[in-house]
Amino acid sequence: MDLSETLSAMPAAEPFAALPDAWHWSPNPRFHFVAAPAADGKHALQVTTLGPFEPGLVALLLAAARAHTDQLLGDPRPLIALPGFGAPGHEFDTAAVAAPRGHTLHARDNAELHALTYAVFPGWHYEFSGTETDEEALFQVSHPQGLRATSLDRQPSPFLRMRFDNPRTKGGSSGPDRGLAKPDMLFRELELLEGVPGAFVEFENFRHQVWRAAWADGFTLTGEGGHRELDRDGLLRFAESSLT
């Protein structure tokens, strides 16, 4: 596949002035697509945005990914974080790249192009663990409840895996494995431990540190750093700080 020819033939595609050898197309004012061949000329890098579109930020993202082409192509993981990224006016510190199995770009209309395309988006280092499964990467990048990867004005969403069980509320996770979750769920379930012997919340951050909170005449926390007893506010403060 001639990527330059394929990308330039996208509907209403135009050269992207902010970056050499890149093309921009937009089916409506809210959706924007910018794609460019990687440094090897055989793979594509693409930023997709829904909402505010900032050519300067998009160009920096694609340039960062292009500069790391060899690293990206040699990495077997579905979701790769490139630290050290920065863009004026933004707090992002990471350029994130999803391999073809970690996104859905072109999957429906051009399977060959999909297999060659890496999705690029901005993020924060504590949103990525480096151990995401294919399923987790696909959820984070392409599901509305994931990282909202198409939004250039989004807020951080720290990486979190958790499992829990609460006999009082009858709430809990299924199976022995921790699953992706949002911090709000963690904080809520930690609060609901109060006064419930046998209830627990187990959570893991982007550093792979794991803690288990429970109730035993007070809140207890075991894991990284040993065993400790905390009050409600102390437990919530710890949980929040542990995620970043």
> DSSP states of 82-120 as a string?
EET---TT----EEEEE-GGG--TTTTT-HHHHTTEEEE
What pLDDT is recorded for position 138?
98
Asked whether residue 153 is domain-assigned, the answer is no
Residue 116 domain-assigned (yes or no): yes
pLDDT of 174 strictly over 90: no
Tell me if 148 is assigned to some domain: no
> Which residues constitute the domain of residue 175?
161-242
Domain presence at residue 79: yes
* Whether residue 180 sits in one domain with residue 67: no
With 0-12 / 13-18 / 19 or more C-beta atoms within 10 angstroms meaning exposed / middle / buried, residue 18 is middle
The verdict on 11 and 130 lying in the same domain is yes
Q: Note whether residue 232 is domain-resident.
A: yes
136 with 232, same domain? no
Q: Which two tokens stand for residue 199?
A: 């209830």
In a domain, 155, yes or no: no
CB within 8 A of 65, min separation 6: which ones?
38, 45, 72, 82, 95, 97, 118, 120
Residue 103: closest CA among 68, 137, 129, 132:
137
Q: Is residue 154 situated within a structural domain?
A: no
**How far is Cα 146 from Cα 131, in angstroms, rounded to an integer?**
16
User: What mean pLDDT comes out for the span 139-145?
Assistant: 96
pLDDT tens, position by position, 224-241: 999 999 999 999 999 999
Output the pLDDT for position 45. 98
Q: What is the pLDDT of residues 123-138, one digit of tens each?
A: 999 999 999 999 999 9
- Judge contact between 230 and 238, C-beta under 8 A: yes
Shared domain for 136 and 168, answered yes or no, is no
DSSP string for residues in 27-55 = EETTEEEEEEE-TTSSSEEEEEEES---H
- Please provide residue 156's backbone torsions phi and psi, each rounded to the nearest 5 degrees: -65, 150
Q: Give the mean pLDDT of the chain.
A: 97
pLDDT digits (tens, 9 = 90+) for 104-117: 999 999 999 999 99
* 185 pLDDT higher than 90: yes
**Residue 76 shares a structural domain with residue 128:** yes
Q: What is the mean pLDDT of residues 187-209?
A: 98
Q: Across residues 182-209, what is the average pLDDT?
A: 98
Whether residue 218 lies inside any domain: the answer is: yes
Q: Using one digit for the tens of pLDDT, what is the confidence trace for 48-107?
A: 999 999 999 999 999 999 999 999 999 999 999 999 999 999 999 999 999 999 999 999
**C-alpha to C-alpha distance for 118 and 47, rounded to whole angstroms:** 9
Residues 134 and 166 in one domain: no
Number of independent structural domains in the chain: 2
